[in-house]
Structure 1
Amino acid sequence: MLIGEVMTSPVVTVPRTATVRQAIRVLHEHDITAAPVIGPDGRMAGIVSEMDLLRGAFEADPRAFLRPVAAPGEPPPRHVEEVMTSRVRTARPTSDAAGLAETMIRTGLKSVPVLDGDRLVGMVSRRDLLAVLARGDARIRDDVIAALREHGAQDRWTVTVRDGDVELRGEADENARRLAGVLARTVPGASRVTVRESAGRS
């Protein structure tokens, strides 16, 4: 499964010159946790997250304290370019989604922009990956059968899917088994693929 098959596109973006309040409204209205920041040339200049935008956004409420609260020292950031992250980990649409998922788990990233060359083409979030895994077994089975049929290989295989694990059972040579396994692994939501010979084959 490729990143281009799970990413969200088109992408909700924030201009580099936007105010922090404007960016907060964008994230809130679209129910997202981060957005790429676009410069005047239309290219991605960074990414801004909920955490970035919350820095300095609130002042202490004096009602919550017994003694007077000191006035803030520095004014809070006003523009996105002051709080955004410039060095951004990105992905390509033709890369493996499983590898990106591992990277996100390891690094704690919630969202990763997807670039085709210099062009921003998508965004992959944890929610996107969960949506793929949430696909029902019946739909995954239909998609596996469709992929096999497209390559003229559906008739020789019995396809079963349980909790996202795909099993192909049939009589075929090694090359056909390898092809069937590759095709099944391209289907979104297929967690693991097992290719077995039919029980009756000697």
Structure 2
Amino acid sequence: MLVREAMTTPAVTIAPSATIRQAMRIVLEHDVTALPVVDGAGRLVGIVSEMDLLRGEFEADPRAFARPRSGPPAPAPRLVDEVMTRDVRTARPTTDIAELAETMLRTRIKSIPVLDGSAVVGVISRRDLIATLARGDARIRDDVLASIAAYAPDGGPWDVTVEDGVVRLSGRDDPEAERIVEVLARTVPGATRVLIRPSS
């Protein structure tokens, strides 16, 4: 499965000159965890996450401490440009989801902008990956059968079962046909593994 089949699109972006409060409102209104930051030409210059937006926004409540804290608090950041991450990991629409998921697990990154050339065309987040994996087995089965009917109509009848995202296929005893339907099944969102069972 490819990133373009799971990403959130269109991407909700923000300018580096936007205020922290504007960014917070956009995050809440669109129910996202991060915003790609783009310049006037639409080029990606950073990303700002919920954690970035919270940085320095709360002052300590004196009721929570036995003694008042000494010294004046540092001024809170005002603009997205002051808190955004500039070194941004990106993906392409044709990036393999398995590869991207491994990267996200390894780096603990929650959201990754998706670029087509220099244009931000979407965002892929952990939530998007979970939503893909949470698709019902019946829907995955229907999509596998539809894909086989559309792209391998002469491949003969195939028995398709799906359990917890694992697709099991059985049909013609034909290695070439098996290879084709296996590839087709792997492209279906929510399919975590594809197994070919010997035909009976």
Unaligned runs of 5+ in 1: none
SS at match of 1:15: coil
Give the C-alpha shift of residue 27 in structure 1. 1.1
Number of the residue aligned with 1:175: 176
Which runs of 5 or more structure 2 residues have no equivalent in the other structure?
A: none
**Aligned alpha-carbon RMSD (Å):** 1.2
Q: How far apart, CA to CA, are the structure 1 residues paired with 2:5 and 2:107?
A: 22
Residue aligned with 2:95, SS: coil
Aligned residues: 199
Matches within 5 A, 1:119-130: 119-130=119-130
Q: Secondary structure at the match of 2:78?
A: coil
1:91 aligns with 91
Contact 1:140 1:164 in 2 (8 A): yes
In the alignment, is the contact (CA less than 8 A) between 1:156 and 1:172 conserved in 2? no
Residue 191 (structure 1) aligns with: 192
Residue 51 of structure 2: aligned partner? 51
Aligned to 1:156: 157
Q: CA deviation at 1:67?
A: 1.8
Offset, 1:153: 4.5
Q: How far apart are 1:198 and its partner, in Å?
A: 0.9
Distance 1:197 1:164 in 2: 20
Alignment partner, residue 62 of structure 1:
62
Normalised TM-score (structure 2): 0.95
Question: For each residue in 1:62-114, what CA deviation from the matched residue of structure 2 results, as whole angstroms up to 9, or x when unmatched?
Answer: 12222223343431111110110111000000111111011111110100000
Equivalent residue number for residue 114 of structure 1:
114
Which residue identity does 2:141 align to in structure 1? R
* Partner Cα separation in structure 1 for residue 17 and residue 189 of structure 2: 37
Matches within 5 A, 1:1-150: 1-150=1-150
Q: Is the 8 A contact 2:185 2:194 kept in 1?
A: yes
Residues 105-157 of structure 1: CA distance to partner in whole angstroms, max 9, x if unpaired?
11101000000010100000111011111111100000000000012146421
Structure-2 separation of matches of 1:28 and 1:78: 18
Counterpart Cα distance in 2 of 1:45 and 1:3:
21
User: What is the alpha-carbon distance in structure 2 between the residues aligned to residue 185 and residue 26 of structure 1?
Assistant: 35
CA separation in 1, counterparts of 2:71 and 2:28?
Answer: 28
Amino acid of the structure 2 residue aligned with 1:190: A
| In 2: Cα distance, 1:72 partner to 1:194 partner | 64
Q: Percent identity?
A: 61
Tell whether the 8 Å contact from 1:153 to 1:180 is kept in structure 2 after alignment.
Answer: no
Structure 2 letter corresponding to 1:59: E
Aligned partners of 1:117 and 1:72: how far apart in 2?
46
Q: What SS class does the counterpart of residue 90 from structure 1 fall into? A: coil
Shift in Å at residue 197 of structure 1? Answer: 2.2
Q: Which amino acid aligns with 2:182?
A: G
How far apart are the structure 1 equivalents of 2:167 and 2:31?
Answer: 33
TM-score, length of structure 1 as denominator length? 0.94
The residue identity in structure 2 corresponding to 1:184 is: A
